[in-house]
């Protein structure tokens, strides 16, 4: 990053329906206040000029306008006066075809620089607005490269990823977010995984019975919340810095392996799609119990097997049929060729015997010695019937790369509990990995891990009066990377993190996370004790219907993707490896 901080501000605001002129005056006052304090970039909420909860085209028609137009002209004059950049949200009318859009506009001292029409609508937009047709742009300005996203857009990993690979220094996310404590974990994830700032301008207050969450904030590229505001109108002030190069996680992408991101498998009934031509139908829906175990693998395989046996005993007694164990749980860390294991060796045979005796499927990590002489960081799935599948880690850490070759194949296996995709630790930092497994129909992602970052993010609690049972109190585990990965892909995610032998608990606790992060209370279990096991019930059943009624089989957040905007995700960008 460069050393020169750039002052910025997010405006939190409660607009009033049918009071457009009043809303604009108030936003202009707040924006001018921020500019007088030195802000070079000021971001305002989604639909801030008019309010949000419009019933239909007829109701919103008196308040729509073109871009550029009268409202953008008012804000352009302010930008010219203070030599600053503004992002506003408004309902736009296309001057050519008369369609309405939910639009974000970037305005600078010379006027309108660019705009973004919301591409991934929430349930309310189809009442009056068309899906955005402009794709996802990054706008170059003297203060940095600026991307625009609107509310629901950011639920989809592809939108912010396009900003990241196109060099955005900051994502300006304007929203009318609801139904959870904010700053929302989705916002934090998008900044972290793309190595850029995120300025969040969210409305607050109540409109037509809808309670909005507030929590406007400035998020740093490592996911740290630099500044935020819980409720009420006002400013959130902070700074950003221009990046000298793409973030590390952008540079480590494997675009050649992401071709499936362009597949739209959930455009069709998945119960039909996956059984087409009689090939790989989804496993029959059922209720199951799965488990994760957390411990610190050592250098001694026999010692690791002893711990795994104890954890398997606990999981089996609690009725689990799948147990996920940490990365390198069987072998311990790589210490040289002598630490590597073969998939037909004695240690794997011992794991098989354990699976048979406990009627469990075990997913565990190991250093694999291949027949070709290469070493891999591998996740192995072993059941009573033997080795079911193995996955070689695709995204390597620097520590991995010192000894391991990178894998090149995604792996999903079918078990009685559902279709299970395999990932390993650092893979979870790449949103493409979970998305591809979801597109393959996975109900569960099993992820052995050894991650100490990103650490869990806490929340001090909110004064926003959310309806019960939405959580409003303080939480030490508000932001957890695997929880977001589960929700954005509508999967259960079984995350077994290696416990550092020098720590009582890892910074990122093991757990099982449910497929809907907006379902309260959450369907999840966290490991809160050293060397412990937790279980969670998994339900893949369907009501008596020819269409899926279970979110894990229906996958709403996968079905609503807009793949025609995503081709750049599979192209190598400067600095990326194939």
Q: What length does the chain have?
A: 578
- 292 with 486: CB under 8 angstroms? no
207 catalytically annotated = no
The H-or-E segment that residue 449 falls in is strand 444-449
- Tokens representing 3? 């050393």
Residue 324 is given by DSSP the state: E
399 catalytically annotated = no
Q: Distance of CA 220 to CAs 3, 72, 242, 246, Å?
A: 15, 29, 12, 14
Query: Distance between CA 189 and CA 219 in Å, rounded?
Result: 10
Alpha helices (H) in 269-300, listed in sequence order: 270-273
Comparing CA positions, the residue from 261, 327, 280 lying closest to residue 508 is 327
What DSSP line would sit under 154-220, residue for residue? GGSHHHHHHHHHTT-SEEEEEE--BSS-SS-HHHHHHHHHHTSEEEEEE-EEEETTEEEE---EEE-
What DSSP line would sit under 343-373, residue for residue? TTSHHHHHHHHHHHHHT-EEEEEEEEE-TTS
Query: Distance between CA 182 and CA 231 in Å, rounded?
Result: 10
User: How close are the terminal C-alpha atoms of the chain, in Å?
Assistant: 25
Query: Distance between CA 378 and CA 424 in Å, rounded?
Result: 8
Catalytic residue, chosen from 14, 115, 125, 151, is 151
- 294 with 506: CB under 8 angstroms? yes
Q: What are phi and psi of 222, to 5 degrees?
A: -95, 10
User: Which is it for strands 85-93 and 41-43: parallel, antiparallel or unpaired?
Assistant: parallel
Residues 6 or more apart whose Cβ sits within 8 Å of residue 126: none
Catalytic residue, chosen from 14, 20, 84, 118, is 118
What DSSP line would sit under 15-52, residue for residue? --TT-HHHHHHHHHHHHHHHHHTT-SEEE--TTTTT-S
Query: Distance between CA 462 and CA 476 in Å, rounded?
Result: 14
| 3-state SS class at 231 | coil
158 catalytically annotated = no
Query: Distance between CA 118 and CA 129 in Å, rounded?
Result: 9
Query: Distance between CA 361 and CA 341 in Å, rounded?
Result: 19
Residue appearing with tokens 């087409």: 276
Catalytic residue, chosen from 14, 20, 46, 125, is 46
Q: What are phi and psi of 76, to 5 degrees?
A: -65, -35
User: Is the peptide bond between 183 and the residue preceding it cis, with omega within 30 degrees of 0?
Assistant: yes
Catalytic residues: 46, 118, 151
């Amino acid at each position: 990053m460069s050393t020169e901080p750039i002052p910025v501000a997010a405006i939190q605001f409660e607009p009033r329906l049918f009071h457009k002129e009043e809303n604009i005056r108030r936003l202009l006052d707040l924006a001018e206040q921020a500019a007088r304090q030195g802000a070079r970039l000021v971001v305002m909420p989604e639909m801030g000029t008019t309010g949000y909860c419009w019933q239909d085209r007829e109701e919103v028609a008196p308040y729509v306008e073109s871009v550029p137009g009268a409202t953008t002209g008012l804000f352009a004059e302010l930008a010219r006066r203070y030599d600053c950049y503004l992002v506003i949200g408004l309902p736009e009318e296309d001057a050519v075809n008369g369609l309405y859009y939910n639009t974000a506009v970037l305005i600078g001292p010379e006027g309108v620089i660019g705009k973004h029409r919301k591409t991934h609508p929430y349930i309310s937009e189809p009442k009056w607005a068309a899906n955005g047709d402009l794709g996802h742009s990054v706008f170059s300005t003297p203060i940095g490269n600026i991307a625009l996203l609107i509310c629901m857009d950011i639920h989809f990993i592809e939108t912010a990823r396009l900003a990241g690979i196109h060099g955005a220094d900051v994502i300006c996310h304007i929203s009318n977010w609801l139904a959870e404590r904010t700053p929302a974990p989705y916002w934090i994830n998008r900044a972290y995984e793309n190595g850029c700032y995120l300025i969040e301008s969210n409305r607050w207050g109540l409109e037509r019975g809808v309670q909005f969450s507030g929590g406007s904030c400035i998020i740093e590229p490592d996911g740290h919340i630099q500044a935020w505001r819980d409720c009420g109108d006002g400013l959130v002030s902070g700074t950003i810095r221009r990046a000298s190069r793409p973030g590390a996680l952008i540079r480590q992408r494997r675009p050649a392996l992401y071709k499936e991101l362009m597949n739209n498998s959930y455009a069709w009934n998945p119960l039909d799609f996956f059984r087409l031509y009689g090939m790989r139908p989804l496993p029959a829906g059922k209720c199951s119990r799965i488990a994760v175990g957390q411990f610190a693998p050592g250098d001694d395989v026999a010692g690791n097997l002893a711990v795994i046996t104890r954890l398997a005993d606990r999981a089996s007694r609690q009725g689990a049929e799948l147990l996920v164990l940490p990365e390198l749980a069987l072998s311990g860390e790589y210490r040289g060729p002598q630490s590597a294991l073969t998939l037909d060796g004695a240690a794997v045979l011992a794991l098989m015997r354990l699976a048979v005796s406990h009627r469990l499927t075990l997913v565990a990590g190991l250093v694999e010695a291949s027949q070709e002489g290469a070493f891999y960081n591998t996740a192995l799935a072993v059941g009573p019937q033997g080795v079911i599948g193995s996955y070689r880690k695709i995204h390597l850490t620097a520590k991995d790369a010192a000894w391991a070759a990178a894998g090149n194949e995604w792996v999903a296996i079918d078990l009685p509990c559902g279709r299970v995709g395999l990932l390993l630790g650092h893979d979870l930092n790449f949103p493409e990995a979970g998305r591809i497994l979801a597109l393959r129909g996975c109900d569960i992602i099993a992820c052995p891990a050894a991650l100490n970052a990103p650490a869990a993010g806490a929340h001090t609690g909110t004064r926003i009066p959310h309806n019960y049972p939405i959580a409003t109190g303080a939480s030490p585990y508000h932001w957890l990377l695997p929880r977001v990965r589960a929700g954005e892909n509508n999967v259960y995610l079984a995350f077994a993190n290696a416990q550092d032998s020098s720590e009582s608990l890892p910074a990122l606790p093991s757990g099982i996370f449910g497929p809907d992060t907006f379902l309260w209370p959450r369907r999840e279990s966290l490991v809160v004790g050293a060397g412990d096991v937790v279980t969670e019930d998994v339900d893949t059943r369907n009501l008596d219907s020819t269409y899926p009624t279970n979110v894990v089989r229906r996958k709403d957040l996968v079905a609503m993707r807009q793949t025609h905007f995503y081709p750049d995700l599979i192209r190598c960008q400067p600095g990326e490896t194939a």
